[in-house]
Structure 1
Amino acid sequence: MSRPLTGRTSMKRRSRIGLLIRQSTNMPSALSKPHRIGLVKPDTAVGIGISLILLVLVAIPMALVVVQAFMPGILQGDLSFAGLGNLSELFHRRLWRVSLMNSLYLAGYTALFGTLIGGALALVRQKCSSVGGTALDLCAWTMLIMPSFIIAQGWILFSVRSGIAAQWLGATWVYDAVFSPPGLVAIMCLKNYPFAYLAITAAMQWHVKEYQHAARLCGAGPLRTLITVRAPLLLPAILSGMVLVFIDTLGDFGLPAALATTYRFPTLPYTIFTAINQSPIRFDLAGVLSVYLMFILVAAVALYLWLLRCSRFDFLTAKAESGHQLVSKNGWIFTAVAFGFIGIALGIPLGSSLLVSLTENIGAGFVVSNLTLGNYAAVLQSGSALKEALANSLQIALIAATASLIVAFLAAYLITFSQFYLNGLINVISTVTLAVPGVILGVGFIFLWNHPWLGALGLNLYGHPFLLVLAGMAGAIPIAIRVLLGAMGQIPHSFMAAAALQGAGLWRRLLTILLPLTLAAFLSAGLASFGSSVFDLAVTSILHPPGYAVLPVVIDRMFQQGLYGESTASTLIAATLTLCLIQTTQVSVRRLFKHLLQTHQADAPKKLASAEVHHA
């Protein structure tokens, strides 16, 4: 019989166990199996590798963009400092000034009105039926995933003088309404409102009715209560949505690219693109404009953080209640408003693309004699540019998504569960680069991978398809890290610590504990990375090698050449195939994981019985 534990002995043992758990949590490799990297612990080795990857893919290209503005000859090996003279060129070049003002006009008004639309729809979602709320959510996610150039192309086909509105509906006024600065703001609001909608909807999940009741007892009406009580309490979510709308609009490349042949509205991203696609190529101009664009984005994020620090917003109490789907007596009215908005925001651009893809001549109207499947047959015929471009883009997206998912998973693990000394650097890089537009990323990749000293080492990747993979990784890794951090933050550190105490090494803990518990987020991050890489117009337009067909460039080129039927048919084919691949992968992985779990649960009693017999 074992000797009973005294109070002092049990306290010592608990203290020793607590010390072991803390050590295994802070330094999981201390209890792991021997490794090959000398005295370097597994967490440290992984952390150094992830830091180097993020530096090469994100930090160094962004730094070179800034340096290029002050050292224009750096690509030729000239390290002489040119001073601040290049930055002052903005005040002497009319195109630069117009591009800056257009970008600020578009981003500022879109941030304001897009946030108002998102907040209004979040309120509508609470009042309408469950069907209407689900439809609003699906519409928001669809608009968030769809590239802006595809949405813009749909609006152009609807609004041009020979388009659907004028020729089919007789609404000739639509052209002047859409192709104007306020019209472009309206299109961008309908495209980017989901950032504000999703942020505000999430914040409205819980609310305290007593605050509103107190305001109503003091004589405040519903509108005043909304403005003076609910809106201030939701200010962090409102500001978050507004900043996200502003950032995404300011760095948008798809809208001006789609408008290039119809309406002249230069913005900073498109002017940067033209600077590196003219003859002679002006990398110095691209660097200067990129510095201005990055400065505005950093200022917007800094202002947002400062505003949040000015006040406290922790208003929830024990009386907080869930606020989702509080169906009103007149819920059908709110449901009708929801579906009416969906018809405008999603139905017009995508419906216009579908109708144009099924017609032989857009000006002949929607009649039986004008309907055809010839556009689909043309883009699917043997030797068509779409097949090659689709195969190349899917291959690039698959490689980029897989690699970025692995890097993001390890980075999120380091930030959440380890004490690696460069965790702050990893977190900062993955956060700041969320605001970096694809145009600046592409320019930074040119500055890095076209440098003479890399050519001397045989690492000059500029003009090679593999550079598109690296660019896809750079754009996807920060988003995947944010998604995975949310899931890993819900897992107690004791899970990993207990496995370490049992002798499980780092990789076994990652594969058998962390991955199964974060499978949903892991899958979502990977599929989002895949989908965004397929239709990334900005990066592929800048970095694709000559003669190498990629999907966004092929679709945009068809549209610029006036092949609207083939362009829309290619868009719908590619989008349908991509969505089918995403859905199939999602269902297959979940079924496989469910099967593995059931097998493990079925074998567990047998293993336990065997262990008990062996112990006896």
Structure 2
Amino acid sequence: MARGSTTGAGGSRGFLWISALSLGLVVALPALFVVLVAVFPDLGRGSLAAPFRPLWRVLSDPALAVLLRNTLVLGLGTVAVSAALALPLAALRALFRVPCARVWDLLLLIPFMIPPYIAALSWILTLQPRGYLEQLSGVNLAGLLFSVPGIILLMALNTFPVVYFILSRNFETIGARFSDVGRVCGAGPWRAFLRLTLPLATPGIAASLLLVFAMAIEEYGTPAALGRRIGFEVLVTGIENRVSEWPIDLPEAAGLSLVLVLLALAAFAVQRWLLARRDYRILGGKPQPFQKRPLGRWRLPVLALFALVAGVATVLPLLAILAAALGRTISGGLRPDNLGLTNFAELLDLGSGGLRALSHSLSLGVATALLAGGLGAITAYAVARGAGRGRAALDALSLMPNALPGVVVGVGIILAWNQPWLPVSPYNTPLILLLAYTCLLLPQPVRYASAALQQQGDSLEAAARVCGAAPRTAFARIVLPLMTPSLITSMLLVFAVASRELVASLLVAPVGYETISVYIWRQFDQGSVGLGMAMALCTIAITTLIPMLLIALMRGRLSPG
């Protein structure tokens, strides 16, 4: 047994080393170079002169206060509007018998599946002067669209499903029994909900709103598409400006990236502080089946509310994307003679730039899913089954991308792999995109694999080792097959997001190498809106339907029948 334990420990150390080296290259190196170049601006020339000069320049620049203020306004405003939209819908969905509840769930999930930059472009087509809304109704809402409240509203329409789904599950878990006790003691329905049910859901509210805040301050597409037209610059667009516009200032971009990361970490610290002030746990009581209440006379108003939110958040953007994709020309409007499949035929024509961009993104999505899935499985196994102090550091390193916005990862990739003293570099090759996508999306496979390992326990693996199996054999023949369903689910999510990622693609894509997101963005800039929206429609269909189909097939194969 001693020999077996030694062998097992040696195998675990092997997984630890593989995971540490991989995470060091994929995650730690870009993050490290952001810090180093922010401190030592001439690092690329092999000099450590003038330390902290770019960081001091960034911190003393009056423009930073404007960027920081705008970023906070955007993040906090998106949080407030998302909460206002999601909280009543989630409470109604969880506590009452809402007709067609699953249909509403599906309709409210779709906005989250539409990439924010595509949603922003669809709203521009709808609300701009002579846009679809004005053509159909004569109403012009361009003033709302190109304004700070309009940007916040559009971002909230894209992010509120996060809060809705988390809170609806929380409210269902809590049920109505505590509010019923409050009503027996004389409280009205509103008071019972506000003083009992809502506080018990505080952890879910805090977690979901923190996620919305992080998504809002990291989002590039919507502020770039709308904010720049009104001079509303945020940290993300400020970083991208310093990387892509002349004169290029990588040290200052690194300094702004540090500010953005610190802002995201501060939000996480605020969440922890709020939850630590009070304890929101249920200390006693036997779980009981929960029967949802009928809506009664509120049935029609509740249905109207769900229909209104689903129509604005889901139906209108999809219809705008479809209309633009079918439109031969934008100036032709919505006339029947201006609609057709010309854009799809040009997009899918053999040798077309659109077909190449589609193949590039799909191949990169598959490669990212495989690489992130494999690295996630190894890292989760090394953390769960390994030994030593390095496991905690490895776990923290695997989660670090959650605090790194896409623009920061892009800047870090540029700084790490574009150094003149490197003998070989993946920079300016498709491999650089694979590294960027893997860095951004690695936490999903790690978390899914970790959850699967916790459910398994280690008895089967221990039995295999007692029977003489080497650690690698036990991992390949027992552990990996058992975590495969969870791992495949996370890999499908990675594929869907990687196939349409925007900001890192704009920053590090090789010259002449277009992905789906870069193609859509450039077509819109060049005035070929129909081609861009045709690609957007294909993207939404591919990255939504393929993962859903594969998950359904997996469930069918794994079901007892």
TM-score, normalised relative to structure 1: 0.85
| Counterpart Cα distance in 2 of 1:428 and 1:496 | 25
TM-superposition CA deviations, 1:553-581 (whole Å, max 9, x none) = 11100011222111111111233233444
Gaps of 5+ in 1: 1-19, 33-39, 599-616
Instruction: List aligned pairs for 1:303-452, cutoff 5 A.
Output: 303-315=270-282, 317-321=284-288, 323=290, 326-329=293-296, 330-331=298-299, 333-452=301-420
The structural deviation recorded for 1:504 is 3.1
| Counterpart Cα distance in 2 of 1:281 and 1:88 | 15
CA 1:326–1:506: 2 relative to 1, 3 Å:
farther
1:279 pairs, out of 231, 237, 246, with: 246
The structural deviation recorded for 1:293 is 0.5
Counterpart of 1:255 in structure 2 is 222
CA 1:480–1:517: 2 relative to 1, 3 Å:
same
Secondary structure, aligned partner of 1:206 = helix
Secondary structure, aligned partner of 2:129 = coil
Indicate yes or no: 2:153 matched with 1:181.
Answer: no
Counterpart of 2:435 in structure 1 is 470
CA 1:312–1:156: 2 relative to 1, 3 Å:
same
CA contact (8 A) 1:196 1:238 kept: yes
CA contact (8 A) 2:505 2:515 kept: yes
- Whichever residue aligns with residue 103 of structure 2, its letter is A
Secondary structure, aligned partner of 1:230 = helix
Indicate yes or no: 2:15 matched with 1:77.
Answer: no
1:132 pairs, out of 95, 100, 118, with: 100
The structural deviation recorded for 1:382 is 3.4
Indicate yes or no: 2:77 matched with 1:112.
Answer: no
CA 1:579–1:209: 2 relative to 1, 3 Å:
closer
The structural deviation recorded for 1:281 is 1.4
Higher deviation after alignment, 130-139 or 564-573: 130-139
| Counterpart Cα distance in 2 of 1:152 and 1:352 | 11
Secondary structure, aligned partner of 1:398 = helix
1:550 pairs, out of 515, 518, 526, with: 515
- Whichever residue aligns with residue 317 of structure 1, its letter is G
The structural deviation recorded for 1:422 is 1.5
| Counterpart Cα distance in 1 of 2:73 and 2:291 | 35
1:566 pairs, out of 498, 518, 531, with: 531
The structural deviation recorded for 1:418 is 3.1
The structural deviation recorded for 1:365 is 4.1
Counterpart of 1:526 in structure 2 is 491
| Counterpart Cα distance in 1 of 2:268 and 2:488 | 29
Counterpart of 1:11 in structure 2 is none
CA 1:129–1:587: 2 relative to 1, 3 Å:
same
| Counterpart Cα distance in 1 of 2:37 and 2:4 | 42
1:87 pairs, out of 25, 35, 56, with: 56
CA 1:464–1:515: 2 relative to 1, 3 Å:
same
CA contact (8 A) 2:108 2:314 kept: no
Indicate yes or no: 2:200 matched with 1:237.
Answer: no
CA 1:322–1:507: 2 relative to 1, 3 Å:
farther
TM-superposition CA deviations, 1:130-173 (whole Å, max 9, x none) = 6633234324443333321011111111110021111222111x
The structural deviation recorded for 1:236 is 0.9
Higher deviation after alignment, 520-529 or 500-509: 500-509
CA 1:395–1:160: 2 relative to 1, 3 Å:
same
- Whichever residue aligns with residue 452 of structure 2, its letter is A
Counterpart of 2:70 in structure 1 is 102
Indicate yes or no: 2:186 matched with 1:219.
Answer: yes
Counterpart of 1:203 in structure 2 is 170
Supply the RMSD in Å over aligned alpha carbons: 2.5
| Counterpart Cα distance in 1 of 2:97 and 2:181 | 28
The structural deviation recorded for 1:328 is 3.2
Higher deviation after alignment, 302-311 or 413-422: 413-422
1:67 pairs, out of 16, 25, 36, with: 36
| Counterpart Cα distance in 1 of 2:289 and 2:237 | 44
| Counterpart Cα distance in 1 of 2:89 and 2:356 | 41
The structural deviation recorded for 1:238 is 0.7
Secondary structure, aligned partner of 2:244 = coil
Gaps of 5+ in 2: none
CA contact (8 A) 2:401 2:442 kept: no
| Counterpart Cα distance in 2 of 1:325 and 1:156 | 40
TM-superposition CA deviations, 1:59-88 (whole Å, max 9, x none) = 221121122222111122221242366335
CA 1:82–1:577: 2 relative to 1, 3 Å:
same
The structural deviation recorded for 1:325 is 5.4
| Counterpart Cα distance in 2 of 1:465 and 1:192 | 30
2:159 pairs, out of 189, 192, 200, with: 192
The structural deviation recorded for 1:436 is 1.2
The structural deviation recorded for 1:237 is 0.8
CA 1:483–1:117: 2 relative to 1, 3 Å:
farther
CA contact (8 A) 2:220 2:237 kept: yes
CA 1:586–1:119: 2 relative to 1, 3 Å:
same
Corresponding residue pairs, total: 560
CA contact (8 A) 1:129 1:331 kept: no
CA contact (8 A) 1:397 1:530 kept: yes
Counterpart of 1:162 in structure 2 is 130
Counterpart of 1:612 in structure 2 is none
CA contact (8 A) 1:91 1:97 kept: no
The structural deviation recorded for 1:250 is 0.5
Counterpart of 1:37 in structure 2 is none
TM-superposition CA deviations, 1:164-192 (whole Å, max 9, x none) = 111222111x1112221111111111111
CA contact (8 A) 1:206 1:320 kept: no
